[in-house]
Amino acid sequence: MKFSRTLLCLLTSAIGLIASSAFAQSPAGLWKTVDDATGKEKAMIRITEVGGVFTGKIEKLLDPAKQDSKCEECTDSRKGQPVVGLTIIRNIKKGESHWDGGDILDAANGKVYRARLTLSEDNKKLDVKGYIGTPLFGRTQTWSRVE
């Protein structure tokens, strides 16, 4: 009887660890972006998941002078919208080793690119690739997890 309680306890703990590890491997959370050209911290992006679909919104701009900026270069429904609160990542879904299938908006120039997100093994870095055509070509930024 004592052996079976100990075994049951260990088994329950192992299942809990596996479940929490699988849940933690997700791009959902708050991420800090860094400007490619200047190396300065640029924005905080909140990625959320609903029904297996991930979206990302600009939660905060880190340059106080840009807090009231609008997406003047956007060509879709986001044109003229405040950049803070703007959805920049849409329709991303889990693939084999990354998340893709959606798009990402560069709010600085209004261009929309296909997107691929790749999470680091430690769950602390997110490679965000924007591309046209094939993922072999494009630009990748590495975002840092805040929460």
Give the whole-angstrom CA distance, residue 94 versus residue 135: 16
Domain residue ranges in the chain? 27-145
Instruction: Report whether 128 contacts 146 (CB < 8 A).
Output: no
pTM of the prediction?
0.82
E strand residue ranges, the chain? 29-34, 41-50, 53-61, 87-94, 99-106, 111-119, 125-131, 139-145
Q: Read off the pLDDT of residues 64-115 as tens digits, 9 standing for 90 and up.
A: 999 999 999 999 999 999 999 999 999 999 998 999 999 999 998 999 999 9
Kindly report, residue by residue over 113-139, the tens digit of the pLDDT. 999 999 999 999 999 999 998 888 899
pLDDT reported for residue 137:
86
Classified as helix, coil or strand, 107 is coil
CA separation for the pair 40, 137 (Å, rounded): 24
What architecture (CATH level 2) is domain 27-145?
A: Beta Barrel (2.40)
Give the pLDDT band of residue 23 (cuts 50, 70, 90): very low
pLDDT at 55: 98
Number of residues that make up the chain:
147
